[in-house]
Amino acid sequence: MKDLILYKYLDFKGAKAMLEKQNLQFTNAACFNDPFDCHPGLIDCSNAPKNVFNWPPTEFLSAQAATNLENMRNEAWISCFSKRFNNPLMWGYYTNHKGFCIGLNRDFLARYINAGLGFMAIGSDVDVEYCDLLKRPDYFRSPIDVFHYQLCTKGEQWAHEEEVRFAIIKPSVNVVSFSLNSPPKEGEIIKWKEVRFYPRIGVECFNSIYLGSRMLDNDKEEILKLVKDKYPNMAVYQMVINPDRFGFDAAPITI
């Protein structure tokens, strides 16, 4: 059974923008910090079948398969979540304990992350699988979906993230809002992979919010007011250090 609530760890600025604009950030798969992530080399393209008169040549078919995988990586924009809200490493990596973690309803999200956003959308059954060795399924003969494997397989050293992904393939700029980290200079060519997409999601997607243990008081007041005004039914928690173990507890907050 899949976890109903997924969690998005963000720094204060990113999380506040997500609540204000009611959207999700999708990043190009080729821009992740893990160089193995979504890499075409995860799939074996060397065993192309021979056809009559060996035409097209197996070398051509293998090269075409490798190109398809490279294109998949370059054309996929992904939004990442975790199955846990109380992972100390995730709090440290993504929030510095001063941001917050937003709980989102998986089923409701899937209604918004659909094929209307681009060429294709993956909005369900996208739990990341972790392994210690490259299995390299056969592009031509594997019984599994090799593109799904490419987008949702990572090394076991990342298993603590318990990651779930939503993906949009070839997002439509006519449908989905997008932005760059910084505006291009005059005459500069936009680097398409650096574009981030922000599809809107409904208020019903927002289930809960967890404030970092080191969140500044002014930031906390600002977020509590925002939640009270826009998300009156969302549960709010303060992360506090557990006195007996290396971990956090979530203390409910009434607003």
pLDDT score for 47: 92
Question: Which helix or strand (DSSP H or E) is residue 49 part of?
Answer: none
Q: Compute the distance between CA of residue 180 and CA of residue 197 in angstroms, rounded to an integer.
A: 9
Give the range of the structural domain holding residue 150, as residue numbers without chain letter.
5-253
pLDDT digits (tens, 9 = 90+) for 217-241: 999 999 999 999 999 999 999 999 9
Closest listed residue to residue 115, CA positions, set 171, 163, 68: 171
Q: How many domains does the chain have?
A: 1
pTM: 0.91
Q: Compute the distance between CA of residue 35 and CA of residue 99 in angstroms, rounded to an integer.
A: 26
Residues of the chain with pLDDT under 70: 1, 124-125, 181-190
Amino acid at 96: N
Q: Compute the distance between CA of residue 242 and CA of residue 227 in angstroms, rounded to an integer.
A: 26
pLDDT digits (tens, 9 = 90+) for 106-136: 999 999 998 889 988 887 668 999 998 888 9
Residue found under tokens 């006195």: 243
Omega into 56 within 30° of 0, i.e. cis?
yes
